[in-house]
Each structure stands twice: as structure tokens, then as C-alpha cells.
Amino acid sequence: MEVKVIDNDVEKALKILKNKLSKNGLFKELKLRRAYEKPSVKRKRKALEARRRMAKARKRRHF
């Protein structure tokens, strides 16, 4: 991943980088890896995320 600094505006480049990383899911992944997650909890979380994605996809199709 690459972000170019234009006119020595490092603050704006950092903001863009953070935005890209959050959209990529890196911060979420880091948060999940901070502590051990039991396999049963992991399965439940993954199933919940899948349900949310499916609901979101269904919601989009109605428009």
C-alpha cells in the first residue's frame, strides 16, 4: 500500500493512509488478534459476520 505526500502535507497523507487501512480491515484484524479467541467463539463471530453481510446484500437488492 502506498500513499504519496504532496506539498509536504504529512498530516493529510497519514489521514489517507489510516482511511485505506481501516477500509482494508487491518485495524479490525489487529484488534481480534490481541487476545486468544476460542474456536467456538470464532465460529459464532464468523457466522454473525456472514449473516450481516447477507442482510446487507439483501437490503441493497431491494432498491
Return the domain boundaries, the chain: 10-61
Give the largest CA-CA distance in the chain: 50
pTM attached to this predicted model: 0.61
In this prediction, residue 63 carries a pLDDT of 60
Q: Tens digit of pLDDT for each residue in 6-62?
A: 999 999 999 999 999 999 999 999 999 999 999 999 999 999 999 999 999 998 886
